[in-house]
Structure formats: structure tokens, C-alpha cells
A and B are shown apart, each in its own frame.
Chain A
Amino acid sequence: MKLGASMKGAALVMARRLPGLLLTLLVSSIFIFSAMYLAPGNPVSALTGGRQVSPAAEKALEAEYHLNDSFVSQYLHWLGGAVHGDFGTSYVARGQSVGSQIVDRLPTTLLLLAMASLAVFIFGVLLGSIAAIRGRRTESVITTVTAVGMGIPSFVAGSFLISFFAVRLGWFPVFGPGEGLPDQIYHLILPTIALALATLAYVAQVSRVAIGNELNRDHVDTAYARGMGGGWVIRKHVLRNAAIPITTVCGVTIAFLITGTAVVEQVFQLNGIGSLLIDSVISKDLPMVQGICFVAVIAIVLINLVVDGLYGVLDPRVRR
């Protein structure tokens, strides 16, 4: 595979998908901004969560959000701030800026997401490959296990993991994010399993089917007939082709992992963005909710873009 051609393919597919993704971003941001108008009551009370604020603070809010202008110019002002990381001020967290709160909480969530994505990709594809390549018995065991795994919500898995591995066996800490990278990773092992479990099972099933389909293709038989070794055929003929649908599914599932962090961080009391989102919903801190949702949507759109790029690298047919 020539590097230049793959990069070109990636760029081509990404460029083709960009307008659609920008439209998604536009529609989502309009919707997220409209939240303060959709909420019962006027925008000012929506932004302050119905709390009494001084007339001066109310004036400041009106000026900050340009509430006396037209809806379109209000939205544009908000969007202009948002793309620079300025999501306004939280009236619940005593006038702290939403952006700085999000940045403070980002590292824990990013580490959790990275660990969970890696687990999903590595173990999901591994389990799927083993199921497809090994005999029928292995396949039926893995199929059964993944069918059950897909039905286990993260907070149920998390409760079990805390109860068994943290409380009963004492192998892992119960709560908290830890200090320093090695300790943080150690603290995040159980949350990673809880977050990744259902998605991992899904990716394993998809991989098993994708690899199984490729194994039955004529070119694989031909390769064996040419006397090629099993490992070589699997790598060059089977996995290479199965990688295309697997990558697509992995991209879609990472979007669900991002939302899943909200639940898992609550279970393990991690101070990431997910738990900040839930706390903000409960304390009616709308600017914070808007900021986090916007960041989440941007992350999802970016991941889709990267996956489309990978798709261009993996599948030469889309480069035309």
C-alpha cells in the first residue's frame, strides 16, 4: 500500500463527507443554543436555573447573550464565543467560566475514553477473530458471552465490578480518579471495563461476522490453494478486507462511549466532564450543559471525520 495514495484517499473521503458533518454541527449547535428558549420561562431565568439574580447581573446576562437582538444574531454571538471555547458563565458555580470548568475536568474523561476505546478495539476485534477462526465450539461460547455482554448496561457492570473486585476482593480502589498517570490508569481500570463492556461485545459480534464472511470468499481459497500459510492469509486477505466494516462500526460506537462516560463517571465518582454534565443538569446550570453538549457533539463529528479518513485509507475503491 502506497502511503501517498492512502493519504490522498483519506483526504478525498474526508472532503466528501465534510459538508454533511458541518451541517450536523450547525443543526446541533442551533438546537443546543435554543435550549434557553425551549425551557419554560424566559431565557434569563433559564440561564440562571430560576435563581434570583441582581438586576445588574441580569443586565450583564442580557448584554452577554445579546438578548435584545434578533435570534439569529444572538445565535451567531453565542457560536462565535463557543468556537473560541467561551461558553459563557455558570451562575451556579459562582460566576466561573464554563470553558475553564470543562478544561479542568477534561483529562480524566479523555483518559477514560482513550482506555475504553482501546479496549473496545483491541479486545473486540480479537474476540471476534478468535470466534470466526477457531472451531465451532469456541464460536458458540463467544457468541453466547457477547450476546449477554451486549445487554449489560455500564452502571450495572460498574456496580458488579465495585462490589466484587473493589469491596470483596479489594484489588481495586472503589472510587476516585487517582493521582499521577500510573495511579490514574489503575483507578480507571474498573470504569474502563464498565464503559467498554457492551460496546466491546457488539464490536466482537460485528468482527466475527465480517471476518466469517471474508473467510468464505473465493480469493481466500485461492490463497490457500497457492500454498500460503494460514497466518499470512488471515492477515493479508481476511483481516485486511474485514477491517473496512469493523472500522465503520468502531467509529459509531466511540460516539456512544462519549455519552457513556456520563453514566460511568457517576458510578465511580470520577470528576470528569460526564459527571459535571449530570451535576449541571440536576442543579439547572444551563450554560454548563450547553457547553458540554456542544463539546460532545464536536468530538463526535471529529471522530466521524477521522473514521471516514480511515475508510479512505482502507478501501481503495472509494478513492476514485
Chain B
Amino acid sequence: MSQTQTVDIDLDKGRGRFVQAFRRRPSILALVLLTLALMAVFGPMLAPQGTGSVDLGQAFQAPSADYFFGTDSSGRDIFSRILSGARSSLVAPLIVTVIAALLGTLIAVVSAWNGGWIDSVFGRAVDILFSFPGLLLAILACAIFGTGLTAAVIALSIAYIPYIARIVRSASIREMTSPYLEALRLQGFSGFLICRRHLLPNVASVIGAQAAITFGYAMVDLAAINFLGLGQDATSPNWGVMVASGQSAILRGRPEEALFAGLAIVIAVVAVNLLGSRLERDASLEIE
């Protein structure tokens, strides 16, 4: 890897008291993450008014007991639409994260284990991919394959491979210098077996931390794709789509749809980011 990109920065060192307190009592973060997970699974069923029926007579209602977050320009209940939009808003970044984590780990372990030209070829490929921002690749994919979430999800899955591969590669190389792995190798165990049984479990915490951070990025990028009208169609409940469809209402002084949907995105992203830095800290403690 090149010189400029190996500067390691420990974001956790000397973190403020608030974040530390948050860590000592992880229940708040756990509660937020659990709520998000439940929303993704049961959200559409819990929505009091389904995806909301169009009723122009009820358009632009202020928040009330009937409509917790008010109604949108078509008179649909914003609260219900946020609940029913949780699934598509959260599952798509999850798919990106899982694919990127699997491929990234595969590339990282194969390069770390084999070294030599395989490592340099993969290293170079990862460098090139790294300089191509994920959102740009996703937009290009939408231009080539037509709008819709599939193209964007595949593009982002590829774009985020470097984020996983880099960190996992260096963690694997660090792990491989430990005597027990050398001992296993000398005993003649196959590389595949050593990687699967010993190397992977020992770098799992690093993969987890990096995957959480990737989820946050993927969530923002996919929400942007949906906001831009390149992802899901404009009628489907989705947080990014809702921020876009709420734009015209903002000018009428009714920002509820855009802002509550935006808040949902922010809460989800901040929660997984905090989870990521928490896992990252635990992983670095483990290594020490």
C-alpha cells in the first residue's frame, strides 16, 4: 500500500465524556438499534394507517393525535409511511454491507495469506476502487442499467469492498505473525482450514466494526440515490424518497415529511456509526 494512505488514526483515543458514558451504559444505543431492527421487520405491519391512503382533503395536516407527524401533500399519514418505509430504507444498505463484507474479507484473507503478486494485484485494484467514490459509481450504474435500486445496490457493494478489504488485510497480516498460526502451518494444516478455523474468527471483530461503519455510508448513499429519483419509484414508502417528495411542502412552511424522514435516516446512521466505533475500540483492545 502506498505511503500516504497508511496513516492510522485512532478516532477513539480521548473521546469525550458523553460518548464514553454512552459506552458504559450501552443500553441506549442497543435500544435504538433494536428499535430500528424491529421497524425493519415489523414496520409495515405496525403502521397505524398502512402505507397511507391518498386523501387530498387531509393534505398538510399539522402533527396531532391522529397523525403523530402530520400528513404529506397527498394527505397520507407521515408516521405510518416512516414505519412502512423502514424496511426498504434499512434492508438495502444491509445487503450492500453483507456483500461488501463477504467479498472484502475474501480478498483480504487471500491477499494476506498468499502475499506476493496476488497481494500486489489485489492491493492495486483496491486502491483504484478506493479513489472512485461509491455514490459516483452508483449513479453511473443507474445510467447504464436504468434507474432502480438493484443497479445501485450492486454498484455500492463493489464500491465498499476496499473499506473492508484494507482493514481486514492488515488485521490478518498482524494475526499471521502470531506464533500459533506459524505452528499450525508447520504442522501441515491446509491454508483453507487455518484461515477458516483460526484466522477468520480472530479478525471477526475487525470485520464487524468495519461492516457497521460501511452500513452507515451505504445508508447515506442509498438514501441519496432514492432522494435523487434514481432508486425506488416516487410513490413507494422510503425515507430517502420521502425527503424528496417533501421538498415542495417545505416551501409552503410544512417541512414535516422531509424533516421527519430525514431524522429517521440521521438516527439510523448515527446509531450504526456509534456501534461501529464501539466495535472498533473493542477490536483494538482485543488485539492489544
Residues of A within 8 A of B (CB): 13, 17, 20, 23-24, 27-28, 32, 35, 38-40, 46, 131-132, 136-137, 139-144, 147-148, 150-156, 159-160, 162-163, 167-168, 174, 198, 205-206, 208-210, 212-213, 244-245, 248-249, 251, 255-256, 258-260, 262-263, 266-267, 277-278, 280-282, 284, 286, 289, 293, 296-297, 300-301, 304, 307-308, 311, 318
Contacts and interface: CB of A to CB of B under 8 A. Distances in A.
A213 B13 CA distance: 8
A110 B253 CA distance: 31
A159 B131 contact: no
A258 B213 CA distance: 21
Contacts of B16: 131, 136, 139-144
B3 A151 contact: no
Residues of B contacting A: mostly: helix
Contact of A148 (B4, B258, B266): B266
Given A144-B19, A307-B4, 6 more contacts: A144-B16, A156-B265, A163-B258, A256-B133, A266-B227, A304-B131
Contact of B128 (A24, A35, A260): A24
A13 B228 CA distance: 39
Contacts of A297: 132, 136
Given A20-B124, A147-B274, A293-B140, A318 B3 contact: yes
Nearest to A27: B128
Interface residues of B, number: 58
B133 A162 contact: no
A163 B127 contact: no
B147 interface: yes
Contacts of B216: 151
Contact of A210 (B9, B229, B259): B9
A277 B224 CA distance: 14
Interface in B190-231: 216, 220, 223-224, 227-230
Residues of A contacting B: mostly: helix
Contacts of A17: 2, 4
B133 A300 contact: yes
Interface of B: 2-5, 7, 9-11, 13-19, 124, 127-128, 131-133, 135-136, 139-140, 142-147, 216, 220, 223-224, 227-230, 240, 243-244, 246-247, 250-251, 253, 255, 258-259, 262-263, 265-266, 269-270, 273-274
A262 B139 contact: yes
A267 B243 CA distance: 10
Contacts of A153: 220, 223-224, 227, 262, 265-266, 269
A206 B224 contact: no
A242 B13 CA distance: 15
Given A40-B145, A140-B19, A153-B265, A159 B11 contact: no
Contacts of B11: 205-206, 209
